[in-house]
């Protein structure tokens, strides 16, 4: 699973994802999360904090996880810069 600026905030049930990861059976997933230090902080939530919470939930459950926190905003600029590396990491043997 790969997310760039994942919306784990109070939009379309995204806020419930981290707690579901903590409660539900572990699945055979490798997860790469990317977010920026200056991502959105609006009425629906704070994207960086929500991504950190998701990373913590995945780590708690022992998922194969990598979380890249860049300096950027809510854009795909950093995600695009790390895309090749993230795909190599996800598809490694």
CATH of the domain at 24: 3.40.50.1820
User: pLDDT (tens digit, 9 = 90+) per residue, 8-58?
Assistant: 999 998 999 999 999 999 999 999 999 998 889 999 999 999 999 999 999
Domain span including residue 68: 2-90
User: pLDDT (tens digit, 9 = 90+) per residue, 21-31?
Assistant: 999 999 999 99
- Looking at residue 6, its pLDDT comes to 87
CB atoms within 10 A of CB 79: 20
- Looking at residue 5, its pLDDT comes to 87
pTM: 0.90
For the chain, the domain total comes to 1
Q: What is the 3-state secondary structure (H, E, C) of 27-80?
A: CCCEEEEEEECCCCEECCEEHHHHHHHHHHHHHHCCCEEEEEEECCCCCCHHHH
């Amino acid at each position: 699973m790969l997310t760039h600026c994942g919306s784990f905030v109070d939009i379309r049930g995204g806020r419930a994802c981290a707690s579901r990861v903590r409660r539900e059976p572990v699945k055979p997933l490798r997860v790469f999360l990317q977010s920026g230090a200056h991502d959105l902080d609006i009425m629906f939530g704070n994207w960086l904090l929500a991504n950190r919470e998701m990373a913590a939930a995945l780590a708690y459950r022992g998922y194969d996880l990598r979380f890249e926190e860049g300096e950027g905003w809510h854009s795909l600029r950093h995600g695009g810069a790390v895309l090749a590396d993230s795909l190599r990491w996800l598809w490694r043997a």
